[in-house]
Chain A
């Protein structure tokens, strides 16, 4: 399997990359880790005439803390996230999620920017970014703007990115100290996309839930924020009846496709179970 022909560009700065993307137009695609795009090109499902490789741009790498926000460069790999002390300390749910993405070789190349930007509903990071209240910095020829993760996803492979714009970094507010977290992902094998997955970040006091956010992966055309499910658990001690109520509220907003991972009913059912398990595991970690 050999991709169609294309011209290769390797800019050294974001300014040059954005200039290339805007002048080359629709037939140009940015190339991050390439582990979604290159397989699509081999299948000729993607046939860009120009690839703008972002690996030469040092400014797109790295993880830094700015006050109560963690800023992650778009070209930071899943492997680098896993190796980061800052992430393990401040955002351990990112660590847990990155370990469930693909396999070790893919994680050396796969980037967080590519994972959140390409709009694949099967990717794990987008729902997590919505759960954490993250925002994306998008840079284009006419300047930069910040878009909340919750506003970014419009449909499968459709995002708020305008032609010629590049997602350059992700800003994540650091969750409260003592927060509980869990990412529960049901998959058929290592490297598979989720049959259903749920992210939970919550805080507790006196055995009761004080704040809670729940995100869902691969259970709709876009990642989903299960707001009613999260509301249902506030003020409770996550007793079995409450967990079932939260699962039902989450299932009500799911609209997965029937595919090799199972029929719609099954995927919604296990989606509810992922929500319950993630809530319980997150509560067990909260202090």
Chain B
């Protein structure tokens, strides 16, 4: 099948490549662009490990074709650190609150939490839990991921993070 020329902006940089129509976006990102931070988990739209941000939406990149993302503006986990290379508030939250164990789900969790906090900068615990309900973690029981997002929200809003009593 003939390949299509695709251009897109990924983490602020213009990139291009050739892909068959059937190439999934996650494969294009990992294999053509050699950015392997975005993970492939279930491949069936359930687990959320492949979540990236496309034109202001959290999208499971295993369920979209690369040709469909032609011309779009994408952010992946590689684009999440601050410009000076320090950890963003969300990344710092995951580190400080032990929001990861094996780390496989973390790129998807961070990308989903990124969009969640853009849309709702001060979410309640319930809103965070519903907000990440499309992302599966098999290690943490979610408790520390929720705390990591609360930590980031507090930092972004310039308030002190108060860990809720257990």
Contacts and interface: CB of A to CB of B under 8 A. Distances in A.
Interface stretch (B10-18, B57-65, B84-92, B99-107): B57-65
Contacts, number: 77
Contacts of B21: 5-8, 51
Given A5-B20, A109-B57, A109-B59, 20 more contacts: A1-B43, A1-B44, A2-B24, A5-B1, A6-B1, A7-B1, A7-B21, A8-B21, A35-B63, A38-B63, A79-B57, A103-B133, A103-B134, A104-B132, A105-B58, A105-B59, A105-B60, A106-B60, A108-B58, A191-B46
A39 B59 CA distance: 14
Contacts of A108: 57-59
A106 B133 CA distance: 11
A228 interface: no
Given A35-B45, A38-B64, A190-B134, A6 B58 contact: no
A51 B51 CA distance: 23
Contacts of A191: 46, 133-134
Contacts of A5: 1, 20-22
Interface of A: 1-8, 34-35, 38-39, 41-42, 51, 53, 55, 79, 102-106, 108-109, 190-191
A8 B57 contact: no
Interface in B110-150: 112, 116, 130-134
B68 interface: yes
B32 interface: no
B45 A106 contact: yes
Contacts of A7: 1, 21
Given A34-B63, A55-B68, A190-B133, A105 B22 contact: no
A284 B68 CA distance: 45
> How many of chain B's residues touch chain A, expressed as a range?
20 to 34
A42 B43 contact: yes
A104 B134 contact: yes
Nearest to A43: B44
> Which 7 residue pairs are nearest across A and B when measured between Cβ atoms?
A103-B134, A8-B21, A108-B57, A190-B133, A5-B1, A105-B134, A3-B22
A104 B58 contact: yes
Interface string B21-57: 1101001000000000000000111101001000001
Contacts of A6: 1, 21-22
A39 B45 contact: yes
A193 B18 CA distance: 36
Contacts of A34: 63-65, 68
A34 B45 CA distance: 11
A192 to B, nearest CB: 10
Nearest to A7: B21
22 contacts: A2-B22, A3-B22, A5-B20, A8-B4, A8-B65, A8-B67, A34-B65, A38-B45, A38-B64, A38-B65, A42-B43, A51-B21, A103-B48, A103-B134, A104-B133, A105-B48, A105-B58, A105-B134, A106-B63, A106-B134, A108-B59, A109-B64
A147 B33 CA distance: 46
A212 B64 CA distance: 40
A104 B22 contact: no
B157 to A, nearest CB: 21
A104 B116 CA distance: 9
Nearest to A37: B63
B44 A39 contact: yes
Contacts of A8: 4, 21, 65, 67
B63 A109 contact: yes
Contacts of B132: 104
A19 B36 CA distance: 40
A105 B45 CA distance: 9
A176 to B, nearest CB: 31
B19 to A, nearest CB: 10
A109 B4 CA distance: 22
